[in-house]
Amino acid sequence: MTIRLERPEEYRTVEELTREAFWNVYRPGCTEHYVLNQYRNNPDFIPELDFVMEEDGKLIGHVMFSKAELVLKDGTRKQSWTFGPISIHPDYKRKGYGLKLLNYALDKAREMGVGFLCMEGNIDFYRHAGFDLACKLNINYHAEPAGAEVPYFLAQELISGWLKQNGINEATYCPPKGYFVAEENPQAFEAYDSTFPKKEKLRLPGQLTTC
């Protein structure tokens, strides 16, 4: 198993992988492959933290990172970071690959000076990589009341004490705009998605109810 930076000639394959990984998981179909497709041209995208995982001679995993912002109570904006989508091909799920890929990427991010990460995800997976509820670090989620315990909103100081060192006692996180490209331009998304093999969109138990 190898983890290395994504190469431009692999972009389409990695988007196919992302679509396979996310299809019908959080909503009927998925949009994460389009987010990735658009994000590589976004100034928030961090090419040095855009990793693929290879196994059995094929690409089976991918993760990307992004710059993000934390907003303090007085409106001051502080540079921070987030990551995702993270994908493991369905044939390779729940075999430890996702955690290996994530831990590798987190180590590289820390080496680059990424001190703090927050993101939305399932704590049952991310706690294995050191994440906990963001509210425990006084980080609020933009769509919820300040101080609320939001079970899917997670955070981690990659560099211990980073929040304090940066004068952040409490802040609010809003995901970067680039994550909402599919919602902002549904027609462009549909046109892009139609270039992939047709797959059935299903409403399944466990999907997000708001989608």
Ligand X SMILES: CC(C)(COP(=O)(O)OP(=O)(O)OC[C@H]1O[C@@H](n2cnc3c(N)ncnc32)[C@H](O)[C@@H]1OP(=O)(O)O)[C@@H](O)C(=O)NCCC(=O)NCCS
Which residues lie near ligand X (CB under 6 A)? 21-22, 25, 84, 86-88, 93-99, 121-122, 124-125, 128
Residue closer to ligand X, measured from CB, 45 or 168: 45
Residue closer to ligand X, measured from CB, 105 or 139: 105
Residue 53: phi and psi, rounded to 5, are -120, 130
Residue nearest to ligand X (CB): 98
In residues, how long is the chain?
Answer: 211
In angstroms, what is the minimal distance from the CB of 160 to ligand X?
23
Which residues does residue 65 pair with via DSSP β-bridges, in sequence order? 83
Residue closer to ligand X, measured from CB, 25 or 72: 25
- Cβ atoms of residues 135 and 148 within 8 Å: yes
In angstroms, what is the minimal distance from the CB of 167 to ligand X?
29
Residue 51: both structure tokens together: 């990793």
Residue closer to ligand X, measured from CB, 96 or 167: 96
Residue closer to ligand X, measured from CB, 168 or 175: 175
In angstroms, what is the minimal distance from the CB of 165 to ligand X?
28
- Cβ atoms of residues 151 and 42 within 8 Å: no
DSSP state of 92: G
In angstroms, what is the minimal distance from the CB of 105 to ligand X?
11
Beta strands in 26-138 (DSSP E): 45-55, 58-72, 77-88, 116-120, 132-133
Pairing of strands 116-120, 58-72: unpaired
In angstroms, what is the minimal distance from the CB of 11 to ligand X?
18
Residue 159: both structure tokens together: 């560099």
